[in-house]
Structure 1
Amino acid sequence: MKIAFLVRDLCHMGGVVSATQNLAGALAERHDVEIVALRKVRDESYFPLDPRVSVRVLTDMRPHSPVSDVDNPLSDKFPLVYPLNAGAKTPVVSRLAELRLLEYFDSTDADVLVSSSPRNTIMLTQARGDYLKVTQEHSMPAIYATDIKQRLFPAYRHLHALTALTPEEVAAIARQVPAVRNRLAVMPNCVPSSTIRSSGTNKVVVSAGHLTDNKNHALLVEAFAKVHADAPDWTLRIYGHGTEKKKLRTRIEELGLSNSILLMGQTSPVTPEFGKGSIFVLPSKREAFGNVIVEAMAAGLPVVATDADHGPRNILTDGEDGLIVPRGDVDAMAEAIRSLVQDDELRLKMGAAGIRNAERFHERASCERFEAILEEAFARKELPVHATARVDREGSVHVAVGALPPSAEEADLVLRKGGAGSEEHRFPFSAEGDAVVPWDAGVPHGTWEVALATREGGREVALTTDGYGCDTRDLLAVRLPRAQGPALALMLPYLHQDGGLRLRSALREAHAEVGPVRVDERTIAVRAELWGARPAAGAVVEAVHRRNKERVLSFPLRDEGDGWVAVDLDCAALVREHTDDDEKEVVWDFWLRAAPGAPRVQLAKLATDVLAPIDVFTFARPVLTETVAPGPTVLTRAVRKSRRALGGKPAPQAPTRRRTELRPYFTAACQFAVKTVRL
C-alpha cells in the first residue's frame, strides 16, 4: 500500500521528526512511503532518511533554491484554516502551503495519510479523499493550548485511527474524547537499531536533550555533584542547547565542576557520542516517550531516568536495564548513578539487557505494530457511520445505518455517557442495520453518545448524522406522564455540533414540567405539571442559591387540580436576598417539595423536542429599584471626622437608588432558574 506521512517540515531537531522518519524508513521495506512536508527551510534534515522514502515539499522557502517560493505573494500570508502559532508575526505555515496541502488531499493516490502533529491533524479533517486518515500523538493532548484542543478533539472523530506513545496516554485521550476510545492504539516511537556499542568502561556519564526547564538538567548537575564527591574521576557530558544553558553554566562554575561537567553543545547525530559513555541519564520532569532512552539502550548503556509521565516506565524495566527514580529527587538520582559508577558488573549487565530490550522499538517490531493498527483501521472503515434516528409515538427511538457489511453481521447500537464514565447500554442491530432503543429501556437521565460496535473483534465507530437525520415529529404525540414506570421517560435524538448523533434521555420518577411563566415587576408566576407526586399541605417551591446551597428561600405551592400546580415568586424577596456580600450576579435554582420533608423535584422543561430551552423560552426581565442608605467610605469618614473636630455636625448623606434586574431562564440542564443582577 502507499502510506504518506504529513509533517510541517523535516528541518528541525526533535523527537517527532526523528520518529516519523524512522517509521517511514521501516515501512519502506514493504510499502510505498512518502513524507509530505508543508515547507522546507534548510537543505538537509538533521536525521538520516531511508533512500526508499520519497519526500514531497509543498513550499520551498530556501531563497537559494531554483524552485523557491519566497517571492510568491501568498508565502507571507497567514492561512485561513491551518491553526496559527500564538504570537507569530509571520506565518510558520503560509496560505500558500495551506492551499497546496488542500490540493494534495484532493489529488493524492495514497491509501493512508498519517499526521504527526495536532495542527496537521486538524487539517486532515478537511480531506475529502477515501483514504485512511490516521494521527500519531507524540505528546500529551491534555497540555495543548485551549484553542488547539477545541479544534483537535472534535477532529479526532473524523479519523479512522489514533495512536499514542503509551498506554497511559491512550487512556487519557479516551477519557477526554470517549467517542474515539475504540480506535486508539499504543504506538511507541520507532528507534532504529544501532551499530554503536559502549564498552562500559569509560568513566563518562552522558545526557542529551534540549536545555529547557522541563528536561531538568539542573537536577542532574546537582545529583552528579554528589556522585563526584565519591567518584572524582568520572565526568558528565550533557549534549544539547537551549534557554537553560547560561543558568546551568553558572551553577556548574559555582560547584567548581567546570572540568567534570561538560556542556557539549548540540551534536547531530548524537548517537555516536553514546558509545563514549558508560551510563545514560534522563532527568526530565515530563517525557511522553524519550527516544534517547532507546538510543542509549541500543548502544549498551544502562539508563537512569526520572519517573516522568509516561515514557520511561514504558521503556525501561527498573532494575534490569536501568533505574527509575522519583521526579525531582536529587538524592535518589545521585544514589542510582553512584550504584552504577561503583559496580562494574551491574553496569555491564544492565547495558547488555538494554541492547536486548531495545529491540521491541526497532524497525521490524515497529513496522509490524503499525501494520496491525492499519489493518484494524481498514476493517473498522468498512463499518457504516452515518445514521438516521426516528422517535415513534410511544417514545422509542429507531436508529438505521443501512445494510451491515459481512464483517459486522452481529453488531450493537451502543449508548455511552460522555466524559470519564464507562457506563454503556447496548441494543442489537438487525442485518438490515436497524436498532431500537425502547422507551422503557431505562436509559438513565443524561446525554449519551451513540456508536456501532461489532460483537466479534469489538470494533467500534461513533455514529454521525445530519440536519435531516433526526425525525422527532412523533415525539410531540408521546403521552406523559407514563402510566407505568418513571413518570417521565422520554428520549430525544439530535445532531451534536461535532456532527455526531447524540441521545438525550429524560428519566425521572417524579418531575415538575414547567408550563406557562408570566413575569411582571412584582411576581414571577410559574405553572407546572407535577408527575409522579401529589402536592400536600405545606408543599413549597424552594429557591436554592447556586453557590451556597445552605441559602434557601421558600414559596408556597398551590394545587390547581388535574395535576397542575402553581407558585408566585416574589421578585422583591429575591432582590432582598441579593446581599452586599454577594457578587454582582446571583443564581437561584428552583425545586418543588410536594410535602414537608419530601424529596426535591426539579422544576424543568424536559418533555419537549426543544434541546436547549434557554434559547427558545425567553421571559421578560423586570428591574426593581430600591432606596438604600449609602455605606460609609474612606472619604466620608474623613469628612465626618474633620467636621466633628471643628465642632460642626456631619452633613447628612443622601440615600442612593439601587437597581436589580431579574432574569428568569432555563439552564443548560433545562432547570428553571432566576438570576438577579445588580445594574
Structure 2
Amino acid sequence: MKIAFLVRDLCHMGGVVSATQALAGALAEKHQVEIVALRKVRDESYFPLDPRVSVRALSDLRPHSPVCDLDDPLIEKFPLIYPLNVDAKKPVVSRLAEVRLLQYLDTTDADVVVSSSPRITVMLAQSRGSYLKVAQEHSMPAIYPDDIKERLFPAYLSLDALTALTPEEVAALGEQVPAVRNRLAVMPNCVPTAPVRSRGANKLVISAGHLTENKNHALLVEAFAQVHAQAPDWTLRIYGHGAEKSRLKARIHELGLSNHVLLMGQVAPVAPEFAKGAIFVLPSMREAFGNVLVEAMAAGLPVVSTDADHGPRNILTDGEDGLIVPCDDAGTMAEAILRLVRDDGLRRTMAENAVRNAERFHETGSRERFEAVLELAFARKALPRRATARVDTQGNLHVEVGPLPLDAHGADLVLRKDGGKNLLEHRFALSADGQALVPWDTALPHGTWGAFLATPSGAEVPLGTDGYGCDTQDLLAVELPRPHGHALALLLPYRNENGRLHVRSALREVHAEVGAVRVDERTIELRADVWGTALGPGAVVEARHRRNKKRHLTFTVEKTGEGALRTVIDCRTLADEHTDAEGTDVIWDFFVRPDAGEPRVALAKLATDVLQPIDVFTFPRPVVTTVDETPAPTDTADGPSPRPSMLRLGLRKSRPAEAVTPPPPAPRRETELRPYFTSLNQFSVKTVRL
C-alpha cells in the first residue's frame, strides 16, 4: 500500500512534525510511504526520519538550492483555496505551493493520502482522487479560529476517516460535527523509542516545551522555588524557546534561583537530554496529547504533570508511572516533585513503569493502530452509499441499497436520531441484496432520523439519495388514525439539503390533525380531527403565549363529527392581548383540550407528505386596527388640558373659541395576524405591531 502524508513543512520543531515523521517511519516497515511538504526552508528536519520514507517538497525556499523557487512570481502570491493566516503580510504557503499540491492530488498513485494540517485538510476534501482521504487532528479543533472551523468542519464530510488524539477529543468532534461520528477514531501520536535511558543518578528535574503562556513554565518556576527550599542540591532545566523567556528569566532572578533554574534554550533532538534527568515535569494548562511526556517516560523518567485537557490523563496512570496535579496549584506541584525527590525507590519503580507504559505509543503499536483505522476506512469505502426509500399503502418503509459486498453480509440499516449527546438508534436487517423493511408499527420515536448502513465489523456509512430516491405517493393512501397502537404513526422518507436520506417519524398516541384553515378580516376558522381520545363536553381550543406559558386564551369548540371539531378565533382578541410592553412580535401556539382536566394536545399538521408545512400552507394576514378612546391630555396656553369630558365642564364663556386647542385624534394601532405552521408543524399565530 502506498501512503502519502501531507504537511506544511518539516522545517520546524513541533509535535506534529515529530509525530508525522515517526508514524511514517513506522508504516515504512510494511508500506511504501512518502511525505509531501508544501514548502522547504532548511536542509534537514529537526527530527530523525526513516531512510525508507521519501520526501517531496512542492516549493523550495532555500536560496542555495539548485531547484530554488524564489524567482517564480507565484511564490509571492497568496493562495486561493488554502486558508490564509489572519493579518498575514506575505503568504506562508504560496500560490505556487497550492498549485503544485492541486497537481499532486490529481496525479498521485497513492492509495491513501493523509492530511496532518487543518488547512491542508480543506484542500484534500476538495480533491477528486479515488484514494482514501484521511485527516489527522493533532490539536483541539474546538479552539481553532472561527474562520478555520467554518471551512474545516464542512470539509470533514468529504473524508473517509478522521482521527483525533484522545477519546475526549473524538467525543468533542462528534458533538461539533455529528455527521462524522461514524468515521472518527482515536489515534495518539507516534513517539519513537528512546535512544538512551536515564539511570536516575543526577539530581536534575527536566521540563521541555515552547516557552508560551499555555505551557505555563511560570507555574513550574514557582513550584521549584518551594522544592529548592527543601532540596537545595537539586536543579531544574527547562528546554525550549518562546515569547515567555524574558519573563521567566526575570522571575528566576527575582527568586534568587539563577544557579538552580536553567533556561537551556532549544535543543534538537531533546530526547537525549532527558536521560540526564531523574524527574520530568509538564506544567501545561492545555495539552492535546503531550509527545514530551511519552519521550520522557521512554527515557526512564517518572513524570509530574498537570491535569491538562486532554493528553496527560490518557498517557499517565496516576501513582503508577507519574503523578497528576491540578493546573494552577504550585504548592501541590511542589509536593509531588518533593515526593519523588525524597523517595529513591518510588522514583525507580515509577521509572520502570513509565518505560513499559510508553511502549503502546511506539512504532509497532502506532503502526497497527493506524492500519486498523485504514482497514475500517477501506471497508466503509466499499459499501454502497446510495439508497432508495418507498412507503407502501400500509405506511411501511422499504429501503434498498443494492447488493452488499460479501464481507458486508449481515449489515443493518441504522436509523439514528439526530442531535444530542445520547443518540438513539434502531436497527433493521438488510438482506444480501440490500433491502430492509421498517414496519409502520415499529413505534420509531417521534422526530427526525438519519439513515446509515452498518456492517457487523463496525464499518458504517451515511446513506444518500437523489431526487427520485424517495417514493411517497402511497403515503397519501395510508388510513389514519391507526386501528391499534399509536393513533398517528407515519414514516416520511426525504432527502435533506446535503443529499442524505432521512426519515421523519410522526408518532403520537393522541393527535389533533389540523384540516382546513380559513382566514378573513375578523376571524380565523380552524377545523381539526382528534385521534386517540374522545371529545368531551368540556372540549376547548387554547392559545398559549410562547414566552409566558402561564398566559393562555380559550376558544369554544363545535363538534362537527366523530372526533372532528371546528373553532373560530376572533382576530381582535389576539390583537388586544398584544401589549405595548411586549415589543413587536408575540406568538400564540394552539392546542386542543379534549375535555376538562385532560392534557393539552398540540394542533399540528403531521398526517401529510409535506415535510415543512411552514413553506407550503400559507394564509392571509388580516390587520386589526384599534383606536385608543382615551387619548393622552394635550397642552394649552393655560397648561395641560384635562380629559375631553372635564374640558366641557370647565369651559369659561369669556374665553374666545379660537383659544381652545382641539384634542388630538385618538392614536390608532395596527396589528397584523400571521397564521402559520411552525418548524415542528404546530399551528400558531404571530401578532405583529406595524
Deviations 1:518-547, CA, capped at 9 Å, x for gaps? 444543433333332333333223233333
SS of the equivalent of 2:557 reads strand
- Report the Cα distance in structure 2 between the residues aligned to 1:228 and 1:290, rounded to whole angstroms: 26
Q: In structure 1, what is the Cα distance between the partners aligned to 2:569 and 2:252? A: 72
Give the TM-score of the pair, scaled to structure 2: 0.88
2:610 and 2:73 map into 1 onto residues whose CA distance is 49
Distance 1:69 1:416 in 2: 51
Change (3 A) 1:14 1:588: farther
Structure 1 match to 2:454? 453
Change (3 A) 1:100 1:588: farther
Q: How does 1:229-628 map to 2 (within 5 A)?
A: 229-419=229-419, 420-455=421-456, 457-561=457-561, 563-624=563-624
Q: SS of the counterpart of 1:436? A: strand
Partner of residue 220, structure 1: 220
**Superposition deviation, residue 253 in structure 1:** 4.1
Tell me the CA shift for residue 403 of structure 1. 0.8
Match of 2:677 in 1: 666
TM-score, with structure 1 as normaliser? 0.89
Task: Give the Cα separation in 2 of the matches to 1:230 and 1:139.
Answer: 38
CA distance in 2 between partners of 1:41 and 1:52 (Å):
22
Task: State the shift of 1:76 in Å.
Answer: 5.1
Q: Structure 1 residue 95: deviation in Å?
A: 4.6
Secondary structure, in 3 states, of the residue corresponding to 1:368? Answer: helix
After superposition, the Cα gap between the structure-2 partners of 1:209 and 1:573, relative to the gap in structure 1 and judged at 3 Å, is: farther
Whichever residue aligns with residue 442 of structure 2, its letter is: A
Q: Distance in 2 between matches of 1:543 and 1:509?
A: 21
**Alignment CA distance shift 1:37-1:485 (3 Å):** same
Contact map agreement 1:207 1:282 (CA 8 A) in 2: yes
Which residue identity does 2:190 align to in structure 1?
Answer: C
Match of 2:131 in 1: 131
Residue type at the aligned position of 1:586 = V
1:83 is displaced (CA, Å) by: 3.9
Instruction: Report percent identity of matched pairs.
Output: 70
Q: CA shift at 1:67, angstroms?
A: 4.2
Give me the whole-angstrom Cα distance separating, in 2, the residues matched to 1:92 and 1:249. 31
Structure 1 stretch displaced more, 431-440 or 111-120: 111-120
Q: Hey, what's the Cα distance between the residues in 2 that align with 1:293 and 1:490?
A: 55
Q: 1:77 to 1:549 in 2, by over 3 A?
A: farther
* Partner amino acid, structure 1, of 2:393: R
Q: Return the alpha-carbon distance in structure 2 between the equivalents of residues 578 and 252 of structure 1.
A: 67
SS at match of 1:48: coil
Unaligned runs of 5+ in 1: none
1:502 is displaced (CA, Å) by 1.2
Contact 2:493-2:503 at 8 Å conserved across structures: yes
Please say which of residues 216-225 and 43-52 is displaced more in the overlay.
43-52
Unaligned runs of 5+ in 2: 643-662
Q: Tell me, what secondary structure is at the counterpart of 2:440?
A: coil
* 1:404 alignment partner AA: L
Residue 440 of structure 1: SS of its match in structure 2?
helix
**What is the rounded CA distance, in whole Å, between the counterparts of 2:330 and 2:253 in structure 1?**
19
| Preserved CA contact (<8 Å) 2:185 2:373 | yes
Decide whether the 8 Å contact of 2:33 with 2:53 is kept in 1.
Answer: yes
Given residue 428 of structure 1, which amino acid in structure 2 is its aligned partner?
A
Indicate the SS of the match to 2:441.
coil
Tell me the alpha carbon deviations over residues 159-184 of structure 1, each in whole angstroms, 9 at most, x when there is no partner.
33332222333333344445544433
What amino acid sits opposite 1:674 in the alignment?
V
* Counterparts in 2 of 1:559 and 1:173: CA distance versus 1, 3 Å: same
CA contact (8 A) 1:6 1:116 kept: yes
Q: 1:489 to 1:147 in 2, by over 3 A?
A: farther
**How far off is 1:49 after superposition?**
2.3
- Offset at 1:384? 1.6
Report deviation, 1:25: 1.3
- 2:356 & 2:129 partners in 1: Cα distance? 42
Q: Deviations over 1:9-46 (max 9, x none)?
A: 33333212221111011111221111122334444433
| Contact 1:165/1:289 (<8 A) preserved | yes
Alpha-carbon distance between aligned partners in 1 of 2:469 and 2:331, rounded to the nearest angstrom: 62
- CA drift at 1:350: 1.9
Q: Which moved more, 1:607-616 or 1:647-656?
A: 647-656
Q: Is 1:675–2:686 an aligned residue pair?
A: yes
Paired with 2:673 and 2:210, the residues of 1 have a C-alpha distance of 56
What is the SS of the residue equivalent to 2:339?
Answer: helix
Amino acid at match of 1:667: T
Given that 1:538 and 1:556 are in contact with CA atoms closer than 8 Å, whether structure 2 keeps it comes out as no
Aligned mates of 1:538, 1:427 — CA distance in 2? 44
Deviation, 1:587, is: 3.1
Distance in 2 (alpha carbons) for counterparts of 1:510 and 1:183: 39
CA distance in 2, matches of 1:14, 1:72: 29
Query: What amino acid sits opposite 1:672 in the alignment?
Result: F
* In structure 2, C-alpha distance between the alignment counterparts of 1:468 and 1:556, rounded to whole Å: 45
Distance 2:88 2:599 in 1: 56
Distance 2:229 2:586 in 1: 63
Superposition pairs of residues 7-18 of structure 1, within 5 angstroms:
7-18=7-18
Change in 2 beyond 3 A, CA 1:566/1:66: farther
Q: Do the aligned residues in 2 keep the contact of 1:154 with 1:498 (CA within 8 Å)?
A: no
Q: Which moved more, 1:187-196 or 1:220-229?
A: 220-229
- Residues 382-420 of structure 1: per-residue CA shift (max 9 Å, x gap): 222221212222222211111111102212111111232
2:209 is matched with 209
Query: How many corresponding residue pairs?
Result: 668
Q: What are the superposed Cα offsets for residues 256-300 of structure 1, whole Å, 9 maximum, x if unpaired?
A: 434433333333332233233221111222222100101111222
The one-letter code sitting in structure 2 at the alignment partner of 1:264 is M
In 2, the alpha carbon distance for the partners of 1:257 and 1:32 equals 51
Distance 1:583 1:459 in 2: 52
Mapping for residues 69-148 of structure 1, pairs under 5 Å:
69=69, 72=72, 74-75=74-75, 78-88=78-88, 90-148=90-148
Secondary structure, aligned partner of 1:425:
strand
Greater CA drift, 604-613 or 176-185: 176-185
Q: Distance in 2 between matches of 1:621 and 1:83?
A: 47
- 3-state DSSP of counterpart to 1:13: coil
Contact 1:157–1:462 at 8 Å: present in 2 too?
no
Q: Name the structure 1 match of 2:659.
A: none
Asked if 1:52 is matched to 2:52, the reply is yes
**Distance (whole Å) between structure 1 residues aligned to residue 71 and residue 399 of structure 2:** 54
Report the residue type matching 2:287 in the other structure. Answer: E
In structure 2, what is the Cα distance between the partners aligned to 1:253 and 1:650? 77
Q: How many angstroms does 1:426 deviate by?
A: 1.4
8 Å CA contact retained: 2:290, 2:312 = yes
CA contact (8 A) 1:180 1:461 kept: no
Which whole-Å CA distance do the structure 2 matches of 1:384 and 1:479 have between them? 34
C-alpha distance in 1, partners of 2:178/2:225?
Answer: 47
Query: Are the structure 2 counterparts of residues 597 and 253 from structure 1 closer, same or farther at C-alpha, using a change threshold of 3 Å?
Result: farther
CA contact (8 A) 2:389 2:398 kept: yes
Mapping for residues 138-217 of structure 1, pairs under 5 Å = 138-217=138-217
Kindly indicate whether the alpha-carbon contact (under 8 Å) linking 1:513 and 1:607 is maintained by their aligned counterparts in 2: yes
Q: 1:474 to 1:365 in 2, by over 3 A?
A: same
SS state at 2:277 partner? coil
- Residues 535 and 563, structure 2, Cα contact 8 Å, conserved in 1: no
Q: Aligned equivalents of 1:237 and 1:217: distance in 2? A: 11
Deviates more, 1:544-553 or 1:427-436: 544-553
- Find the aligned partners of 1:473 and 1:89 in 2 and give their Cα distance: 59
